């Protein structure tokens, strides 16, 4: 049965209302439904998946949002298997390219450490960073031994204190833009350390084989969400923008007011990113720490463009299609072609500041021009193009992750998953291990479902 397409919502026969049909929300809904609970998922967009969203280029399904899963992402891999989705390895054969200070070099491995890159300096800075990562409490970064000190400085300012070299800074700037959709100077060092700790360490986060970029979901990651939603059927309502959540402690209920009408249940799980909690009128209001969280955990912004060619021509030249660029419209590319026979598809990560404000035609021209600089004249003849600017999404904009400034982690982090009365929180940001990934989102969906299940069990004796 398809998701519900309704014009008026009026339900009071529910156990749990779940806000958001991303991986966290759909996981929670599936788990509670399997336990016989009556659930309703309210999604503001016209599709499920949240930050997992598919597009098409030259007939190939591509991930405009989340792409990769790692071997260690067991929760999302289990979920994929449960709905019959499989993985496909990220193409990773041949040499990679680096363009830095105008110099173009080939490299292999997890990081470019030759040519214009000062390998010794990179190693020195990464060692310092990794030592700090080890000190982070992944479940409560704000309680880590030097939390206040590490949260009082930006990642960029910390690089200044180490007198990091130009090439080290350039590489760290790419990491920040991919991970948090911002510059190193915009993000708290503690936040950066927490995300790297949660992602299994820098080595795991940067690697393809055995690391975070190892596999993609065949047919696109959104397919997992679509299949989960198909199973949930009319328990998922699209186009239902949650505007207010009103708790009535006397009656033991929560009423969720949406653009389509109201729904009432004993408990709510909200999976919106912390920044999007601010768009909801909570009655009673969130406590000061919860309000601060919603105000300061702003989303970073990343754009993705996919360029298709008849064939992955770079493969014949022994190139992997992987590249890092220290400046320009895009700063990373990967080869996501279905096979050697074509079409050839390059996925590029674009800097929102140099991309989002242009017309679709200009965006395409800028990316293609930069690809010609990297891969030569053959790159000038694409057969198709598609992109997505997460920062300018009309609903729940931003991603991949929050980019939070100094002090926002220690001041407001404890409110991430702290229930507000009958409202429980899930979503990738609220995860400990694997925060910032699909896997983290799934783990939080499970966690919130189990907490509510226990509470319902306590009240109904089931
Ligand atoms: C460009 C990009 C690349 C990424 N790459 C990867 C990757 O390769 N691997 C990986 O593991 N992760 C990646 N991520 C991160 C991953 O997508 C997220 O961590 C994960 O999808 C978050 O899932 P979630 O369910 O917690 O939140 P979301 O997917 O954000 O779901 C929350 C849902 O709540 C809805 N919502 C918000 N407010 C309201 C409201 N008021 N009313 C109703 N509905 C509302 C939203 O529309 C959304 O659908 C990437 C993300 C982006 C954007």
Atom of ligand 1 nearest to the CA of 440: 19
Closest CA to ligand 1's atom 29: 50
Closest CA to ligand 1's atom 5: 66
- Percent composition of the chain: helix, strand, coil (DSSP 3-state, to 5): 40, 25, 40
> Could you tell which of 30, 51, 221 is best to mutate to test the pocket of ligand 1, judged by most ligand atoms within 8 Å of the CB?
51
Q: Are residues 192 and 134 in the same domain?
A: yes
> Is 385 inside any structural domain?
yes
Burial readout 411-431 (b: 16 or more C-beta within 10 A, e: otherwise): bbbbbbbeebebbbbbbbbbb
Q: Indicate which CATH number applies to the domain containing 434.
A: 3.50.50.60
Residue 308, beta-bridge partner list: 345, 384
What crossing angle do the helices spanning 23-34 and 222-232 adopt, rounded to 10°?
Answer: 30
Q: What pLDDT score was predicted for residue 168?
A: 97
Q: What pLDDT score was predicted for residue 7?
A: 79
Q: Are residues 177 and 243 in the same domain?
A: no
> Is 278 inside any structural domain?
yes
Q: Indicate if ligand 1 lies below 6 Å from the C-beta of 144.
A: no
> Is 447 inside any structural domain?
yes
Q: What pLDDT score was predicted for residue 375?
A: 96
Determine the structural domain holding residue 38 and report its residue range.
9-50+221-286+420-460
> Is 3 inside any structural domain?
no
Residue 343, beta-bridge partner list: none
Q: Which parts of the chain sit beneath pLDDT 50?
A: none
The total domain count for the chain is 3
Q: Are residues 158 and 306 in the same domain?
A: no
Q: Indicate if ligand 1 lies below 6 Å from the C-beta of 428.
A: yes
> Could you tell which of 17, 18, 21, 22 is best to mutate to test the pocket of ligand 1, judged by most ligand atoms within 8 Å of the CB?
22
> Could you tell which of 400, 402, 431 is best to mutate to test the pocket of ligand 1, judged by most ligand atoms within 8 Å of the CB?
400
Q: Are residues 317 and 341 in the same domain?
A: yes
> Is 405 inside any structural domain?
no
> Is 141 inside any structural domain?
yes
Q: Indicate which CATH number applies to the domain containing 320.
A: 3.90.660.10
Q: Coil, strand or helix: which one is 1?
A: coil
Closest CA to ligand 1's atom 20: 438
Supply the DSSP symbol for 173.
H
DSSP for 311-333, written as a single string: S-HHHHTTEEEEEEESSSSEEEE
In angstroms, what is the span from residue 51 Cα to ligand 1's centroid?
Answer: 3
Q: Coil, strand or helix: which one is 217?
A: strand
Atom of ligand 1 nearest to the CA of 68: 8
Residues sharing a CB contact under 8 Å with residue 188, sequence separation 6 or more, in sequence order = 150, 151, 153, 154, 155, 404, 405, 406, 407, 408, 409
Q: Are residues 324 and 388 in the same domain?
A: yes
Q: Are residues 273 and 340 in the same domain?
A: no
> Is 411 inside any structural domain?
no
> Is 412 inside any structural domain?
no
Q: Are residues 243 and 199 in the same domain?
A: no
Q: Are residues 387 and 306 in the same domain?
A: yes
> Could you tell which of 181, 182, 198, 396 is best to mutate to test the pocket of ligand 1, judged by most ligand atoms within 8 Å of the CB?
396
Q: Indicate if ligand 1 lies below 6 Å from the C-beta of 221.
A: no
Bridge pairing between strands 16-19 and 39-42: parallel
Q: Are residues 307 and 380 in the same domain?
A: yes
Q: Indicate if ligand 1 lies below 6 Å from the C-beta of 42.
A: yes
Q: Indicate if ligand 1 lies below 6 Å from the C-beta of 239.
A: no
In angstroms, what is the span from residue 207 Cα to ligand 1's centroid?
Answer: 22
Q: Indicate which CATH number applies to the domain containing 196.
A: 1.10.405.10
Q: What pLDDT score was predicted for residue 459?
A: 64
Q: Are residues 98 and 162 in the same domain?
A: no
Rounded Cα gap, residues 149 and 15, in angstroms: 43
Q: Are residues 182 and 125 in the same domain?
A: yes
Q: Indicate if ligand 1 lies below 6 Å from the C-beta of 67.
A: yes
């Amino acid at each position: 049965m398809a998701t519900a397409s309704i014009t008026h919502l009026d339900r009071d026969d529910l156990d749990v209302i779940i806000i958001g049909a991303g991986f966290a929300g759909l996981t929670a809904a599936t788990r509670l439904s399997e336990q016989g609970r009556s659930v309703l998922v309210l999604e503001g967009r016209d599709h499920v998946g949240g930050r997992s969203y598919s597009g098409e280029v030259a007939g190939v399904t591509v991930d405009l949002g989340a792409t990769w899963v790692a071997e260690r992402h067991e929760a999302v891999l289990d979920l994929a298997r449960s709905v019959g989705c499989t993985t496909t390895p990220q193409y990773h054969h041949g040499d990679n390219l680096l363009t830095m200070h105008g110099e173009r070099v080939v490299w292999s491995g997890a990081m470019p450490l030759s040519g214009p890159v000062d390998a010794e300096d990179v190693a020195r800075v990464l060692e310092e960073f990794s030592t700090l990562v080890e000190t982070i409490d992944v479940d409560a970064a704000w309680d880590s031994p030097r939390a206040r000190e590490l949260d009082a400085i930006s990642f960029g300012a910390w690089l200044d204190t180490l007198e990091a070299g130009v090439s080290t800074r350039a590489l760290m700037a790419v990491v920040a833009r991919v991970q948090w959709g911002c510059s190193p100077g915009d993000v708290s060092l503690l936040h950066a350390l927490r995300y790297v700790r949660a992602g299994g360490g820098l080595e795991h986060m940067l690697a393809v084989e055995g690391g975070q970029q190892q596999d993609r979901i065949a047919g696109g990651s959104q397919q997992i969400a679509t299949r989960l939603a198909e199973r949930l059927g009319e328990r998922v309502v699209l186009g239902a923008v949650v505007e207010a959540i009103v708790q009535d402690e006397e009656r033991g209920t929560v009423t969720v007011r949406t653009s389509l009408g109201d729904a009432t249940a004993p408990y709510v799980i909200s999976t919106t990113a912390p920044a999007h909690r601010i768009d909801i009128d909570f009655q009673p209001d969130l406590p000061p720490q919860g309000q601060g969280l919603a105000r300061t955990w702003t989303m970073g912004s990343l754009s993705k463009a996919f360029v298709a060619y008849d064939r992955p021509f770079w493969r014949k030249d022994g190139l992997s299609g992987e590249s890092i660029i220290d400046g320009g419209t895009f700063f990373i590319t990967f080869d996501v072609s279905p096979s050697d026979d074509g079409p050839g598809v390059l996925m590029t990560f674009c800097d929102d500041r140099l991309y989002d404000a242009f017309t679709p035609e200009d965006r395409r021209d800028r990316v293609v021009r930069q690809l010609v600089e990297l891969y030569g004249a053959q790159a000038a003849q694409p057969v198709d193009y598609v992109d997505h600017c997460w920062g300018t999404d009309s609903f729940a904009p931003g991603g991949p992750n929050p980019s939070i400034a100094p002090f926002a982690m220690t001041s407001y982090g404890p409110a991430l998953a702290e229930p507000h009365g009958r409202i429980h929180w899930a979503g990738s940001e609220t995860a400990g291990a694997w925060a910032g990934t699909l896997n983290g989102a799934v783990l939080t969906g499970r966690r919130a479902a189990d907490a509510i299940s226990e509470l319902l069990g306590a009240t109904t004796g089931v």
